[in-house]
Structure 1
């Protein structure tokens, strides 16, 4: 029944738009970071739409390690690396109150910030957990799962252009 409905929508020129929101792996309370006492370049970009942006993917799901925020780069499996210009170069690295006591960046870009990307009518919002050194603010580097959600032709596309990018609180 739903399949028939979707075919009819397609025949009459309608498209189905999807929205997906992925929460950060950890809250500020779980990491013991306090955003009130921080500053950083991300604040100047919050809630501003960037037209004609693009996105890439930084690796397959089996890629492991911690990113520029101190979080695992594939946790959650849909997440993003963003421009180094959005990071505070003087941010401290305190010990967190996570069970493993890892150090995490006391940088606002790493504290409950997400990137929202709209592409071909679909919108994906994922947490920022890493830095993309070669990216400008109009370029987001996704985990492969996030990239493939927005661009199913992923591995053949490589660099998806024509996206709207917005940095938001999550």
Structure 2
């Protein structure tokens, strides 16, 4: 089994309802939601462009999917997460905007959030001890030849190229687009 640490807005939050409508699926119930009607965009096109984020549900990745080390179990991970979160102070990201990150569109802070960046780093530092080392296949899937030097280092140290200084909070709204 694989685990990941993500942010998802609360079930009753208007952002959750808007995202469910856009993606065609509720992240909480898993049930299909009718896609909105958008002039010039067929429902089939919208379903195609949103297929990847719909599959995974509306979220922002904080710690990428990982397998537990053999000497760790889910109960230990959950206990560590509860202990970690009990020491955290809530904060707010003031404004999100639709922006492009690589080949995808998503919601990102209008102004980079230092609080979010630091939280993502703390999560990684606190919970990385639960992550099993990457296999050679895992490393190859990350396509290390396309990574920058810091991303390559992050992949080998943290199991994900897009952490620490390379981290960008984003909530995907589309899959890869040309």
TM superposition score normalised by structure 1: 0.27
RCO higher in structure (CA 8 A, sep ≥6): 1
More strand by share: 1
Q: Which has the higher helix share?
A: 2
